[in-house]
Structure 1
Amino acid sequence: MTDNTLRALVVPADAAEVVDLPAGGAFTLLADARDTAGALGANQLTLGPGREGAKPHYHALSTELFYVLNGAMEFLLGEEVATVTKGGLVVVPPRLPHAFGAVPGVDADLLAVLTPGVERFGYFRQLARIQHGLEPFDGLLPEQERYDVHFVDAADWQSMRSSR
């Protein structure tokens, strides 16, 4: 007897939506909460050398996992900064402010998994429009609860990133 509610999600590489970012970057949208019955959301993020991945923010409800597939990433984790290279893993618990970007002069590729999942594909599409200069960043502010992305002061992170 087969339980129809027990189904694996398979996302072939050519079936994933790719959202282009400047400087050769991209979000590859792999799984949203609706695809996993709310268990998780997953995407791959490719960043050009030194490109910003995310401004400082926290998730009130979810844990976020990052696995560096290639290159090197800088992570702001609370008040600490960590550089993580290919094969490294970072797990960020709920409410811990964090940010990330490719190390200056190095491109990077990472897998990001958020659990429990939140419908966030729209968030990534909007971020791409912002990075391409088609929308202002402030347009994301009313969406913080919806996407469980709560932005915090970015001054120290921006200062550290720009001083390199």
Structure 2
Amino acid sequence: MNENLAGNPTENLTRAATAEAIADGPGSVITLLTDTPELTCNTASFEIGAAGAPVHFHTKATEFFHVTDGQLDVLVGDEIHTLSKGDFITVPPGVKHAFAPAAGHTAEVFVGFTPGMARFDYYRLLGRVAAGEGTVQDIIDSQPTYDNHYAESEAWAGRPRSADA
């Protein structure tokens, strides 16, 4: 839940105790922070082996990732980068990307989009699908609404997903 600061509608505050958290898949939780026309931000927490986000791209938004703990694999174009605590990366509009914890690792990540785009309902949709209250087709149908367009990547499909690989 966001609070206005000093009555200014352009500023908001999200308290950790009241932030909405969504389980969007096994071992994955998204915590919603802010969703304005200028900026959408959340945190993503991944357990070892969590699937993360599939390959996709945005036509309007730059997406950025700051790893606050653990290790995160991030596909950008056809290259996979393994980010560690403190690392930061941006993905410009139109560039396919994906992200998940690196094999054998957990990851905590601050994620943002600029401009923002009322994206919280997309995360809620992911949560409903994970809970069996929606379908993958609902997600596919939502691509133009949330500027989240799915793609393919041989590099991402072939990456190690377990520490044993």
TM interval, short-chain normalised: 0.7 to 0.9
Is residue 29 of structure 2 the alignment partner of residue 14 of structure 1?
Answer: no
Instruction: Evaluate the alpha carbon distance shift between residue 117 and residue 55 of structure 1 in structure 2; reply closer, same or farther with a 3 A threshold.
Output: same
1:53-92 map, 5 Å: 53-92=52-91
Of residues 26, 30, 44 in structure 2, which corresponds to 1:27?
30
**Post-superposition offset of 1:64:** 0.6
The amino acid that maps onto 2:86 is G
Q: Secondary structure at the match of 2:12?
A: coil
Distance 1:93 1:81 in 2: 15
- Which portions of structure 1, spanning 4 or more consecutive aligned residues, are displaced by more than 6 angstroms? none
* Post-superposition offset of 1:104: 1.6
Q: Which amino acid aligns with 1:118?
A: M
- Secondary structure of 1:29 counterpart: strand
SS of alignment partner, residue 13 of structure 1: coil
**Cα deviations by residue, 1:2-60 (Å, 9 ceiling, x for unpaired):** x9656421111112101124444311011112xxxx11000000011131221111110
Higher mean Cα deviation, 22-31 or 124-133? 124-133
Question: Quick one: which amino acid aligns to residue 141 of structure 2?
Answer: P
CA distance in 1, matches of 2:99, 2:129: 17
Q: Decide which moves more: 85-94 or 152-161.
A: 152-161
Q: Post-superposition shift, 1:141? A: 1.3
Q: Is the contact made by 2:45 and 2:108 (CA closer than 8 Å) also made in structure 1?
A: yes
Matches of 1:150 and 1:24, distance apart in 2: 23
Gaps of 5+ in 2: 1-5
Tell me the SS of whatever aligns to 1:10.
strand
For 2:139, the equivalent position in structure 1 comes to 140
More strand per residue: 2
**Counterpart-to-counterpart distance in 1, 2:39 and 2:128:** 24
TM-score (norm 1): 0.86
Per the TM alignment, residue 156 of structure 1 is displaced from its structure 2 partner at its CA by 4.0
Aligned to 1:126: 125
The CA deviation string for residues 51-94 of structure 1, in whole angstroms up to 9 with x for no partner, is 12211111100001100011000011001010001100010001
Segments of structure 1 that go 5 or more residues without pairing to the other structure are none
Higher helix share: 1
Q: 2: CA distance between counterparts of 1:159 and 1:101?
A: 13
Aligned-residue Cα RMSD (Å) equals: 2.1
SS of residue paired to 2:14: coil
Q: Secondary structure at the match of 2:13?
A: coil
The structure-2 alpha-carbon separation of the partners of 1:88 and 1:16, relative to structure 1 and needing over 3 Å to count, comes to same
